A and B are shown apart, each in its own frame.
Chain A
C-alpha cells in the first residue's frame, strides 16, 4: 500500500488514455490528413455515436447481461422518429421525446421478459432483436424517411469550435457526465450497481433487484434510441439499413467500448469515462486503418484482433494487479 504511484495510474482508464495519445501520435505522423479539419470533424461525428452505443451496452452489462437487440432497437426508434416527423408532421422536440419514450419501452420489454423468465438476456434480446427489426422492416416496407425537417438535419451537419467538432459529440459527452453523476452520487444509481454486483446481497438489503434490472434495460433502450436519433441527424434521413442487417453493425463498437473501458462482463461495475475512452480508441483505430490504407476488407479483421488483444491485455493487467496485491 505504500506505493508511490497514484491510484489513477493503475486503472485501465489511464492505460487507455496513453493508448489514445499514442495512436493519435502515430496516425498524425504517419498519415496525411489525420489532423485535417475535415478528418477531425468526421471523427467527432463517428465517435459521438460510438460513445452512445457503448454506454447503451454498458448499462446492461452492469446487470451481468447483454443487449443484442441494441442496433435493432436503435434503428426501430429512429424509424419511428422519422415517421413522426415526416408522415405525422409532429414537431421535432416532441418527436424526440416520443422516440426516447419508445426506446425505453422497447428496453422495458427486454428487461421484463428477462426478469420474469430468468433466462439469460442474451437469448431474450436475440429474440427481440429479430422481432423489433422484423416489425420495423414490415411497417416501413424497408423505405427510408428522407424528407425530415431541415432544422433537424441541419443540426446533424452543424460545425462548432472553428468547424472542428460536431454538436453530436457534445451530446454524447454530456450524457457521459449525466450518467457518471447518476451512478456516483444518486441513490438509484448506487442501487443499480449494487443489484448488478451481488443480486442476492442487494435483495437482502431491501433493493428490488428485478426492478433495478428492468431500469437498466430501459436506460439501455433510452440510450440506443438517442443513438438512433443522432445517427438519423448525421445521415439526414432515417434508413432501415443504417445499422446493417438486424442492427449488427452496432454490435462490435457496442461491446468494444465498455470492454476496453474496463466494464466487467460479470456485472456490477461501470466505467463511464472508460467507455468513452474505449469508443474514442475504437474510432481512432478504425479511422487510422482506413488512412493507412490496409484495404477496407481487412478493417474488420484488424478490429477483431484488437478486441482480442484488448481483452487479453486486460486479463494480464488483472493478473498482475492480483499478484502484486498478494505480495504487498
Chain B
C-alpha cells in the first residue's frame, strides 16, 4: 500500500475517480454513452500527442515541432490519397516515414550541434509548418476513403470507438519501452545526467536520435488519427497541440529537467485534462475558461511536484529502504 502511495499515478488516479463521481452526481449527462464516446475520442488523440512529447521530456529536452510534424503528416496522408489516389496502406506508410524523417532531422541536428533542442525544434516547427502551408496553400483535402472515415467514426461496442485501439497499443508499448527495455532506461539515464550516462558508455547520439525518431513517429500517428476523426485533412491540424502535449506529462509528474517520466501518470494526466475540458462544457462554462484552467492545472502540478520533492529531500537525509 505504501508503495502504491509513492507512485506518481496514484494521487492522480484518486483525483480522477472522485472527480468523475462528483461530476456525474451533479450532471448525470456526464456518463451518458455519447459523452463517454466523445471523451474517449479526445483522450485517444491527446494520448498519442502526449506520449510524443513525453519521450523527449524523458531525455531532458523539449520538442516544439510535435504539432507541425502531425500537421505535415496529416496533409501528406490525405494529399497522397486524394491527389495521387494512393491506397490507404502505402499512404499510412509514407506518413510514418515522413514522421520518422522529421524526428530524425530534429534529433540529428540537436545532438550533432549541441544546440538546445528548443531552438532546433522552433526552427523545424516553422520549416515543417511552412512546407505544410506551401504544399496546401492553406486549403484542406476533403476526399477521404470510406474505410478511413469508418475507422474514425465507428464504435466497437457500446460507446467505445475504434479510434482508441491504436493509442492503447501505443501506451502499452511506451510503458514497456520505458520500464522494461534497456533503451528506455538509457534514455532516462541520459535525461538524468548527460555526463555520467556517457561515462558508463551510453551513446548520446543514438539515444537522442532514437527519442526524436519515436517522437516523430508518434506525432505522425497522432496527425493521421486526427484525419480519421475529422474526416478531412486540414493544414491547421496540430496547431493547438503544444499546450496539451506538455500539460499531460507535467501533470503526470514528469520532471522537465529529464530523467523521470511515468507513462501511466502521463496517461492519467491526459484523461484528467480531457475530463475537465468536458466537464466545463457540460457545466456550460465559457470555452475560453478551458484554456485558463489548463494553465492553472500546470502551475498547480508544478507546485505539487515541487512540494513532494521537498518532502522527499527531507526524508532521504536519513536513508530509508524502499
Contacts and interface: CB of A to CB of B under 8 A. Distances in A.
Contacts of B246: 123, 126
A134 B289 contact: yes
Contacts of A246: 243
Given A126-B246, A133-B291, A300-B129, A315 B118 contact: no
Interface in B234-256: 239-240, 242-243, 246, 250, 256
B134 A252 contact: no
A119 B256 contact: yes
Nearest to A139: B288
Q: How large is the interface on B (under 10, 10 to 19, 20 to 34, 35 or more residues)?
A: 35 or more
A297 B130 contact: yes
Given A307-B126, A308-B123, A113 B299 contact: yes
Contact of B126 (A126, A300, A312): A300
Interface in B244-284: 246, 250, 256-257
Given A128-B295, A134-B289, A312-B113, A295 B302 contact: no
B130 A303 contact: yes
B302 A119 contact: yes
B133 interface: yes
Contact of B113 (A128, A251, A299, A315): A315
Interface string B298-318: 110011011000000000000
A122 B62 contact: yes
Nearest to A133: B291
A303 B240 CA distance: 21
Contacts of B52: none
B292 A131 contact: yes
Contact of A303 (B126, B128, B292, B294): B126
A115 to B, nearest CB: 12
A129 interface: yes
A159 B113 CA distance: 44
Interface string A262-303: 000100000000000000000000000000000101111111
B298 A127 contact: yes
Contacts of B239: 245
B130 A304 contact: yes
B289 A138 contact: yes
B256 A311 contact: no
A119 B306 contact: yes
B123 A135 contact: no
A66 interface: yes
A120 B295 contact: no
A304 B134 CA distance: 13
B119 interface: yes
A252 B137 contact: no
B294 A299 contact: no
B243 A123 contact: no
Nearest to B242: A126
B115 interface: yes
A274 to B, nearest CB: 16
B127 interface: yes
B304 to A, nearest CB: 10
Interface in A113-152: 113, 117-120, 122-124, 126-131, 133-135, 137-138
Contacts of B296: 127, 131
A299 B128 CA distance: 12
A124 B130 contact: no
Contact of B134 (A120, A135, A295): A295
B119 A265 contact: yes
A303 B239 CA distance: 18
B122 interface: yes
A27 interface: no
A88 interface: no
Interface string A139-179: 00000000000000000000000000000000000000000
A297 B132 CA distance: 9
Contacts of A298: 130, 133-134
Contact of A252 (B118, B122, B289, B303): B122
B303 to A, nearest CB: 6
B130 A302 contact: yes
Given A122-B118, A301-B134, A303-B126, 11 more contacts: A120-B256, A123-B298, A126-B295, A126-B298, A128-B295, A128-B299, A131-B291, A133-B291, A135-B292, A297-B138, A315-B115
Interface of A: 66, 113, 117-120, 122-124, 126-131, 133-135, 137-138, 245-246, 251-252, 255, 259, 265, 295, 297-305, 307-308, 311-312, 315
13 contacts: A122-B62, A128-B295, A129-B295, A130-B292, A131-B295, A134-B291, A138-B289, A255-B122, A301-B131, A304-B127, A304-B129, A304-B130, A307-B123
Q: What are the 6 A-B residue pairs with the smallest beta carbon separation, nearest first?
A: A301-B130, A304-B126, A134-B292, A304-B127, A300-B130, A131-B295
